[in-house]
């Protein structure tokens, strides 16, 4: 084996060892943890996770509940509580709301920041919709118009501040329509009692009884 070939072999071996070391380090350091990606706008907002200062980016955290907050002068802080589950990557989008002339002028004078804010807001909306569809597969069947009822969904009454919760809405002016809405949910293979159901203009039969 020539000297040049020998050096090439040694260099390749060292590179392989380094790469294996990096892979092993990542494996063991991320073991029993899940990925959490934090996006924020304005990008220079101060961020805290469980009262510990951090920066936007990718983190690997053990399962648990985390309070994440983004704040900036002139903006209303955005605080979210996230449950990290093992094996389930998660994304957090923080958008402090401008509530002063200072904040409005900042966004006006920084079009790139405003553009980035729109991107993060769009990603947040799409992620929330994906999560809703995963948590509420019945949404694939909604909205739907029946002969005597309209079925849709909207903000949860029980949990109005939780964007991960919704209520199924049944709009009907007659008892027949209300029963038709409940029957439609059952016909799709879902149990109505598993959902928060809002009857528009009618007392909820799951509270006051279905009657005979």
d(CA 146, CA 172): 10
Q: Of 18-22, 65-69, 100-104, which range is least confident?
A: 18-22
Mean pLDDT of 111-136: 93
Mean pLDDT of 70-83: 94
Domains with residue ranges and CATH for the chain? 25-135 (2.60.40), 138-208 (no CATH)
Q: Render pLDDT for 17-32 as a digit per residue (tens, 0 to 9).
A: 555 544 444 444 577 8
Q: 199 by DSSP, 3-state: which?
A: strand
Indicate whether 11 pLDDT > 80. no
Chain mean pLDDT for the chain:
86
Q: Categorize the per-residue pLDDT at 40 as very low, low, confident or very high, splitting at 50, 70 and 90.
A: very high
Tokens encoding 172: 């009907």
Position with higher pLDDT, 7 vs 179: 179
Please state, as a whole number, how many other Cβ atoms lie within 10 Å of the Cβ of residue 47: 20
pLDDT on residue 32: 87
Minimal CA–CA distance to 144: which of 136, 152, 133? Answer: 152
């Amino acid at each position: 084996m020539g000297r040049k070939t020998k050096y090439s072999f040694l260099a390749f071996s060292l590179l392989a060892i380094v790469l294996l070391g990096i892979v092993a380090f990542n494996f063991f350091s991320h073991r029993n943890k899940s990925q959490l990606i934090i996006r924020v706008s304005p990008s220079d907002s101060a961020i805290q996770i469980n009262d510990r200062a951090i920066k936007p980016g990718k983190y690997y955290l053990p399962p648990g509940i985390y309070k994440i907050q983004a704040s900036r002068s002139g903006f209303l802080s955005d605080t979210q509580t996230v449950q990290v589950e093992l094996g389930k990557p998660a994304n957090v989008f923080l958008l402090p709301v401008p509530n002063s002339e200072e904040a409005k002028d900042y966004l006006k004078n920084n079009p790139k920041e405003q553009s980035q804010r729109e991107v993060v807001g769009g990603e947040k909306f799409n992620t929330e919709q994906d999560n809703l569809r995963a948590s509420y597969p019945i949404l694939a069947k909604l909205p739907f118009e029946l002969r005597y009822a309209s079925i849709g969904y909207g903000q949860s009454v029980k949990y109005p501040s939780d964007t991960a919760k919704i209520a199924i809405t049944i709009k009907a002016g007659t008892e027949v329509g209300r029963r038709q809405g409940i029957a439609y949910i059952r016909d799709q293979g879902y149990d109505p009692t598993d959902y928060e159901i809002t009857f528009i203009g009618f007392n909820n039969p799951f509270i006051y009884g279905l009657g005979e």
